[in-house]
Every structure is written in C-alpha cells, then in structure tokens.
Amino acid sequence: MTIEAQIQQLRDELNDYNYKYYILDESDISDFEFDMKLKSLQDLESKHPEFNDINSPTNRVGGTITKNFNTVVHDYRMYSLSNSYSKDDLMAWEERVKKLVDGDVSYTCELKYDGASISLTYEHGKLTRAVTRGDGVQGDEVTANIKTIKTVPLTLKGDYPDKFDIRGEIVLPFEGFNKMNEDRIEIGEEPYRNPRNTASGSLKLQDSSEVAKRPLECLLYTIIGRNLNIQSQIEGLQKARDWGFKVPNAAKLVHSIDEVFEFIEYWDVHRRNLPYETDGVVIKVNSFQHQEELGFTSKSPRWAIAYKFKAERVSTRLNEITYQVGRTGAITPVANLEPVELAGTTVKRASLHNADQIAKLDIREGDEVFVEKGGEIIPKIIAVDLTQRPADSKPTEYITHCPECNTELVRQEGEAQHYCPNYNGCKPQIIGRIQHFISRKAMDIDGLGGETVALLVHAGLIHNYSDLFELTKENVLPLERMAEKSADNLIKGVENAKQVPFERVLYALGIRYVGETVAKKLVKHFKFIDAIAEATEETLVDVDEIGVKIAKSVVEFFQSEQNKIIINRLKGFGVSLEISEDALANQSDSLAGKIFVVSGVFTTVSRDELKKMIEDNGGKVGSSISSKTSFVVAGDKMGPSKRTKAEQLGIEILSESDFLSLLNV
C-alpha cells in the first residue's frame, strides 16, 4: 500500500470512529486502538508533509456540534490531550519538555474523570456562560442547564479575577446513575447505557427542570484568562477551591517522573473505590511560565499528557456481520454482538475494519469472540475463541456489491479497503458530501443538521449540495419532526450561507486533500473559482505547500462535468466564489518566505493574534529555533536558553513593538 493510501485509510477510519462516538454515541473500537491509529497517522503526516490536510483527524480535535442550542465561539480554544499507555511514553514526553524549557520542572498529577467537558465563564464573580467542548473552537451554550447543577457556584467568594474561564467535567456519580436506572426499570423503560453518555446527554436536554432532577456534578481542573495573578497549575486548583468550586483533592504536586509513576500506580488500584468513572491520569507541567514556553501543537498542549489505564476484556457471541458505506465510498464491516457488559457499558457492536482484518483473525458469524475496551470507552474484537467454534462454521465471504446501491465494489492493489465507485448514485456518499458541505468549518448552515440532510436526500428533495439553495419552506415542512419554526430557520440558514467567505466555500466543496489550510492557500493565490478551475497541475504545484497529489485531485474535481454544473449553479445562487475586497485588504505577502518563532508573554496582542498576523502576511510560524528561523519575536519572560540559541545562530530578535512596526501596525 502506498504512503498516500495508508494516510487516507487511517483518516477515513478515524473520521468514522469520531462521528460514531461523538455524534451517534456508538462504540466500535478501544481507546487504545484509536490512539495507536492516531499516532500512526501523526507519524506518517510528519514524515510526508506533501499529504498534509488541515481536516485530518490529527488536527481534529474532538467531533460535530449539535443544532439544539446557540453556538458560541470559545474565548480560549479547548484542546484535547495526547494519550500515553506506558512509562516509556511518559519518559519520552518528559525528555521533550526538558529540552524546551529552562530550569527545574515540576508536575501536577490529576485524575482523568470520564464525563462531558464544559467551559464556564465568570464575570465579576457571577456565572455568565456555560459552553460545551463542541469541536474545541466553538460549542453549545447550555447555561440554563448548568445552573441546575449544585456543585457549580453561581456566585463566587474571595479574591477572584474580574473575568475568567474555568474548565471541567460534568460527571454522574455511580450511586446516582444506578438510582436513575432502578427508577427507569421500575416503570418499564430501558436503562441508561453508562454514566458518561448519560451526563453528556443531560446537557442537551431542552427542559432545564429535567436536568435538575439528575444528580450531576461538576469537577473543575483548569483556570484560563488574562491577568489572573496565578503562577502555577497547583496554585490555580487551590484558588478555584477558595472561590467555591468543587476541585478533586486527588491532585498532587510532584517533582520527578518517578513520583508521577507512583501516583499512577496508586490510582490504578484505588480508582475502583472512587464515586465517579475515571480512565486515567493527567500530568501537567506545573509552572504557567513553562506552559507558555511549551505552547501547543495544532491539536494538544505540549505541556500536558494523559496516561490511560489498561483495558478490560470479556467474551460474547458474534451474531451477524453487516456492512456500512462511508461518504468516500469506503466499506466498513461491522460485528453485531450479543449484548455484553464491559466496563460499565453495554457493548452491541464493534468495527471489523476491512477484509484483511476479518481474514487475519478468521472471524465468522456464530463465533465466540474476545472484546476489549481501552480507557473504558470503545470496544474492539481482539481474538476468536476457537474452542467454542461450531462444527458447521463457514469462513466469512466478504461482500462483492455495495449494500446500499448494489454496485460492484472495487479494491485498488495495495489497499485494504473496498470502495463503492458509484460516486453520484450511492446515497450514503451523497449524504456524506452534503453533510460536509453544511458542517461548522465549511458553510455552517444553522437549522440544518446531518439527520435532516439524510431526510432531504431520501425524500428526493436534494441530490447534491447546490440543491439546498432551491429549497422552500413548503418543501421541508412535510419532513419528519419539521415544525414551522424549524423550517423557517433552515431556509434562513441556507440564505445566510451565501455570505460565507470564499475559502470556506472552497473547503466545503469536498475536494479530496483540500482542507482548510489548502483552501486558504488556493484562494489567496488564485482569487476566483474560475482561475482555480482552469489551473493546470503545473500551475497548482507552484502554489506554496501544494503538492502533486493535491494538484491532481483539484484538476480531477473541476474536470468532472457534474461538478462544473454544480459550481455554475452555486454562482447563480450568489454563493461567494471569489475573494472579498475586505479579505484582500487584510492580506499581504510582506512576510513571504520568513519563518518566525514566537516566545514569551505579550501585552499589545495575544500570542495567537500575533501568529495569525504572521500567517495573514505570508509568513510561517515555527515551533522551535533553528538555522532556518528568520526572526524570533520575544515577549516578556522569554526563556534564556531560547535567547542564547537565537544569538548563537545570529537570528534577529524582535520585541513585540518591533514586530508591529515591521507590519506598520
């Protein structure tokens, strides 16, 4: 299998797992396997930047936002954590930390509770807003529901800052969860699956009085804001306790990696006595100054890592193998299992990945299989109990035709995945492309969600994303669960999408390998959709960071007659297919070819704003100083080792005001 194919296969699998877990609340694979796949993808992308895509699951933090509540942009992004499963992983992380910061490093160790992430905003000592994680950039505002949770203070006490955010987990204690299920069983209703999913679902209930009936708790762990007058994580935890927040007492300040291991070993045993679900330990660099120096990758903080506890395993019967079609046409076999309890969850299904995996394990319908869950979340079939195999068992014959449209499947040489080639006629593929088109980072159409897209396609009202702009209120009102107000919101959302800027429209088109960053590069270079459509592979490769694979994909997309028709229809509907004058005014090439490293604390603009200014003006932001670095932008408290390295390499060091003067700001 080619490197490109391996990367795409991993992205397709991880995107599918993310969607099922975060959107459908379904579990297919273990945490461990998911993280190993993610790590494999990260390694491949790092070694082969020509295949980079900003929409890769490695950048992805988290999943798609529901439409039930107002969507709010986080003042400070909610990153996810890198995961580890061994002492070697933690030691390697510590080595990286010590290379990037000066002086002795201490750590805080905290238990990783398994609940629903939340960000609370306080102004002048009062709760003003509560927002779910969402996709990390923006989430759902659930303030009314959060106010019903007794462990969330509505008014603070003590010396709190004027404004700050505090992050934590909404959890459902085992005792309360079990009582809720006893009550449901008594009245003949299905019990809830597990505390984590129930806590997450509680935040999305429309009636806050129903939320108030649930024994939810909020455990806080991170304070974020400006001018906090807090120097470390452990100090911040104590401040939060002083202000009235419920902060777990298990958190501990340690001064070596050996003490980190002692903390992990203790809680790997004693976690079973806790009143909440927990799946690991979070280790953070304690000093905020060190955290500032270490910064973030596109997905995770470099100054924190999660250690996940070992998996649990059970056996159950595989009743049937079915097949699902992804939006790229990829076929995923699914094991439908005899329901079995595993780590507090009822497991019914697990992914079998592809034909090779089925053949490797010789998995058959009727087999007794071993199922494992890493991190107490997602299940995986790891082996077959051959001693229990029925005498009349027959090997699994992989399907030859698409289960949705009956088109004969194809499998390219060297690839593990089978694909349905019916690009324009297979409904799951059509639905998937339209769902991508309306997604938050693309057209962001309010009032229109994934389920509604499926209803529209199955009703024959739309066949591609350009059809959305012909919908009328009368068209959509007959749809299931479509009230008059919902119909009005949908039509209004589609109309508002015509104002979405060109770079997001280009990303929304779903051209293979064209993620958010590539779309911005193409828009900045070509300015108009027609110029991109007419570009040759040679012309496209001349654009910064556009490789041969991306160029071929762009050319193939615009050579399609159906795609040409769709683009022309979008033009007719008034969708933005050229760069706006305002966007042009905010962009320049004044920093083209320059690489900047940003270090220290800034006062006039934030670190993120400064990085955006570099990129908007054609420059690149580096993570560490090297001979290729053009400038270092130094704020207050820049690490002395970085300054020394810059001076040794003869790299010019700019102050914050020097940099702003460079841009004539």
The set of catalytic residues is: 112
- DSSP H helical segments within 273-334, as ranges? 288-294
Query: 3-class secondary structure for 444-455?
Result: CCCCCCHHHHHH
Strand order in the sheet with 252-254: 83-84, 304-308, 278-285, 107-113, 252-254
To 5 degrees, how large is the angle CA 110–CA 63–CA 302? Answer: 40
486 Rama class: left (phi>0) / alpha (psi -120 to 50) / beta: alpha
Distance, CA of 646 to CA of 659 (rounded, Å): 16
Could you report how far apart the first and last alpha carbons of the chain are, in Å? 50
DSSP-assigned states of every residue in 406-475: -PBPB--TT-S--B---TTT-HHHHHHHHHHHHSTTTT--TT--HHHHHHHHHTTS-SSGGGGGG--HHH
Distance, CA of 618 to CA of 616 (rounded, Å): 6
Alpha-carbon distance values, 471 to 263, 464, 467 (Å): 58, 12, 7
Token pair in block for residue 74: 């986080």
| Nearest partner of 351 among 374, 324, 375, judged by Cα | 324
Token pair in block for residue 592: 């083209």
Q: State which amino acid sits at residue 470.
A: E
What are the residues facing 317 on neighbouring strands? Answer: 368
